[in-house]
Amino acid sequence: MNESKEKIWSEIKRCFNIEEERRGFCMKLAGKLLRGLISAEEWEAFKSKRQDPVFQRISATNRERASSPAYPYRKGRVGYGRLEQSMLQKEESSETSLPAHVLWKEARVGKSGVPQEEVLHVYQKCEELSQSLSPDDTKGILSRALDVPEYSGRVRGKGFGVTPTSLSIKKGKAPSNRELHARLEAMQAELDALRREREASASTVYRDASDKDSINCTFQPNIPEGISHCQLYLSSPYYRMVGKGKVHNVSGVLLHTRELPAGCLKVSVDIAVEPNAALPYPSDDSDATTVHEAVGSFVAWPTNLICVGYEVFV
C-alpha cells in the first residue's frame, strides 16, 4: 500500500509543482478520483449479482415501494441538515436543533407553501403526543404518530447519519424535581467557575471577527468525556468561530470506520456560522469541503480549536 501511495505521489509531483506539506490534501483528492476504478473481475462479479433472480425480486419490490411514498419529501436536493439550518436562521433562533416532527413537516411542504392534509394530521398528532410523553421516551414522537417500527441506530426525521448517540438520546426515567434542582445548582456552579476562569485568563480569549456581536470563549486543554455542545474555530488567517455542533470525546470512536487524525476529535456540525470556511480535515468518505457542506455530518476537528461550554455575549 505504501509503495502504491509513493508511486502516485511521485507521478503527481512529476506533472505538477506542489509543496510537500500539501501531500495529504493531494492524496485525499487522488483517492476520491481513483475510488470509482474497479477491475474487470469486480465488474463481472457486480453484473452477476445484479442479474441474480433473487436480487431482481428484491429490487423490484423496493422500487415499487419507493415509487409512491405516503409522505413524499418536497425539498429536492436540500438535505435535512441544511433545511434545519435555514429554518433556524430564518427564525433567528439560538437553538442548535429543531424537534424531529417540526423538521419532518417542513420537509414535506412544496412550492405552494401549503402542506397536505395527511402531513398536517401527522404533525397535529405529534403536537398532542409531545404534551403527554416524557422527553426520555425510548420511542420517538414521530414514530408513534406514523405508527411505524423504529430501527436501532437511526433518528426518524433528522436525515442520513444522525444517530441517537449524536443527539444525546438516552434511555431512562424522567428526572425528579430534586434531581433537576441539583442539576441546576451544579450548572450554576460550573458557570461561576467558567466566568472566573475567563476573567483570570484573558490571554486565552479570542474575539469573533464577524459583523455580529462578539463572542468570548475559553479554549479548554481537556475536553470532557462524552458528548458536549461546542463551538468550532479556525486559526487561519485569524481566530474566529466558523460553526457550532457537538464534540464526541468517546473512547474508541471512529470516523467513518477510520481512526481520527492525531490531535483531533470527532464532531457533528449543526450550524455553519461561516458557511464557506474550509474544513481542517476533509473526509475521504464525503464530498464536503466547507463547513456549510458538512452540516448534518461528522468530521474531524483539531482539539485545540474546539471550545466546549457556553457563549458569553459582550
pLDDT in tens, 79-93: 888 888 888 888 887
Q: Say how far apart CA 151 and CA 145 lie, in whole Å.
A: 15
Q: What is the pLDDT of residue 153?
A: 66
The C-alpha cell that represents 138 in the structure block: 425510548
Q: Which residue has the cell 455553519?
A: 272
Q: Say how far apart CA 303 and CA 305 lie, in whole Å.
A: 5
Q: Which of these, 256, 264, 259, 261, lies nearest to 286 by C-alpha position?
A: 256
Report the mean per-residue pLDDT for the chain.
80
The C-alpha cell that represents 231 in the structure block: 463551538
Per-residue pLDDT band for 2 (boundaries 50, 70, 90) equals: confident
Is the per-residue pLDDT at 149 higher than 80? no
Q: Say how far apart CA 176 and CA 170 lie, in whole Å.
A: 16
Q: Where are the alpha helices (DSSP H) in the chain?
A: 2-15, 23-34, 40-50, 53-67, 80-91, 100-106, 117-132, 141-146, 177-200
Residue 75, burial from CB neighbour count under 10 angstroms (0-12, 13-18, 19+): middle
Q: Which of these, 82, 102, 87, lies nearest to 145 by C-alpha position?
A: 102
- The winner for highest mean pLDDT among 103-117, 182-196, 200-214, 293-307 is 293-307
- Vertex 267, ends 262 and 272: CA angle to 5°? 125
Q: Which of these, 272, 270, 260, lies nearest to 302 by C-alpha position?
A: 260
Q: At 283, which amino acid appears? A: S
Q: Work out the average pLDDT over 244-263.
A: 85
pLDDT tens profile 170-200: 455 566 778 888 888 888 888 888 877 776 6
97 DSSP 8-state letter: -
Q: Say how far apart CA 232 and CA 214 lie, in whole Å.
A: 15
